[in-house]
Structure 1
Amino acid sequence: MVLVVERTGERAAGAEPGALRADARRNRERIVLAARELFMTQGVDVSMDEVARRAGVGKGTLYRRFPDRDLLLEAVALDIYERLTVMARRAWERGPDAWSSLNGFLREWAAFRFGLANSPLCHPMREALKGNRQLRDARDVWLELFERMVREAQDDGVLRRDIGCGDIVMFMDRLVQETGAPADVADTVPARLLELLLDALRVQPGSVLPGRAITGADLNRPVSGP
């Protein structure tokens, strides 16, 4: 997926995808992928030179596509939200019911290892959302699909009522972080945790969660201090 970030009255993050040659599109995709991986693991202050090295492109190519770090950050954030939207739509179309769709979406999300709530990208993405309408719209489209799956699975009596999509976002973020597990079991830990999550989401008598359900809107509120 090739994505473009535009900021009203400001420079766009590179040319429109349709206007790029095939090799230029591939370079842009490599840059965004490399930046996403580095931003999530090392933080957004990682050097642009390192991004270029990870992407396998020259510094000149990187700066032609993304003249500054903010444009690259916004492109990464938009890429994440639009990919999540594609996953959600695909799961919705394939699933025979809302629970099956939600199940498929969460499995694909886990495979892509997108952390949104507690990764090094969390605060920068919040800041980028404030000044970028296109980014907010992309986030809202994804959340609307996600919340629809949650609500309909609850209406079907399969998903517990005291859960909101924000609860699931928080868990998924933890799921894709490094676990610190021993090397011989580390590869299986995310899959085990995902199965536990899916089991816990189903209606189970006698299980009461503290507090209230965390909604998609709650994810936009200021986070609490240490």
Structure 2
Amino acid sequence: MSESGLRADAERNRQRILVAAEALFLERGASVSLDEVAKRAKVGAGTLYRRFPTREALLAATSNERFTSVAEASRARDADHGPEEALRHFLEELALNTSVYRSLAASLGTVIQHGTPGCNAITEEGHRLLRRAKEAGIVREDASFDDIICVVSAISIAVEKETAPAPRVAHLVDLLFNGMRAHLQIR
């Protein structure tokens, strides 16, 4: 048995599926047929669906390392940035990493619910940063992690076809913050 608890041949098939999916998602986007993924991986469709019963499960698995890196980088930056700047960096990096595969953004909310280590890390870090920003009075109390994922998805969709998306992502995150900002009410 391998580290993942799979027999060696099953683990090889799983890795072949992930490599094929990554290549196809990068080439043609997240909406590529799962049968094409199985064909490129040289496994049967049943083998693919046994390991990854849905497209979102496969997207979560192929995005796992990227999502883990975003969360780890955010935690590593924590001491050097205030709550607003930390949340901004996190949102920018998540949007950029979500736009890696064309069409991933459309299902990001579902993908991150798949419980991979990377999905869990993104969710935990997002909640932590949002809570920290609320406690500092920077973000409105009614802003939720689900709201942030919706907006990150929209930002990712907006920049999918751009060759240098980082400046546009930063601008759109700035617009997001203008809407999320906690405002003092004068009576």
TM (norm. structure 1) is: 0.55
What is the match of residue 112 of structure 1?
97
C-alpha deviations, 1:111-165, integer Å up to 9, x for none?
A: 1235999725766x59xx6xxxxx4363444322210111011112222222111
| Aligned-residue offset at 1:174 | 1.4
Q: Are 2:132 and 1:152 equivalent residues in the alignment?
A: yes
> Which letter maps to 2:35?
M
| Aligned-residue offset at 1:39 | 5.9
Residue pair 1:81, 1:142 contacting (<8 A) in 2 also: no
Residue pair 1:110, 1:176 contacting (<8 A) in 2 also: yes
Distance 2:104 2:65 in 1: 17
Report sequence identity in percent. 19
Count the aligned residue pairs: 172
What is the match of residue 136 of structure 1?
115
Unpaired runs of 5+ residues, structure 1, are 53-58, 130-134, 207-226
**Quick check: 148-157 or 27-36, which moved more?**
27-36
What is the match of residue 77 of structure 1?
60
What is the match of residue 223 of structure 1?
none
What is the match of residue 23 of structure 2?
34
Q: How does 1:63-102 map to 2 (within 5 A)?
A: 63=43, 67-69=47-49, 71-72=51-52, 73=55, 74-81=57-64, 83-95=66-78, 96=80, 97-102=82-87
What is the match of residue 88 of structure 2?
103
SS at 1:68's partner residue? helix
| Aligned-residue offset at 1:30 | 3.7
> Which letter maps to 2:67?
L
Distance 2:160 2:29 in 1: 20
Distance 2:123 2:170 in 1: 24
Residue pair 1:158, 1:203 contacting (<8 A) in 2 also: yes
Q: Are 2:148 and 1:168 equivalent residues in the alignment?
A: yes
Residue pair 1:87, 1:108 contacting (<8 A) in 2 also: yes
Higher fraction of helix: 2
Residue pair 2:88, 2:173 contacting (<8 A) in 1 also: no
Residue pair 2:105, 2:156 contacting (<8 A) in 1 also: no
Cα root mean square deviation, aligned: 4.5
Q: Are 2:39 and 1:48 equivalent residues in the alignment?
A: no
The 1:98–1:200 alpha-carbon spacing in structure 2 relative to 1, beyond 3 Å, is: same
The 1:176–1:14 alpha-carbon spacing in structure 2 relative to 1, beyond 3 Å, is: farther
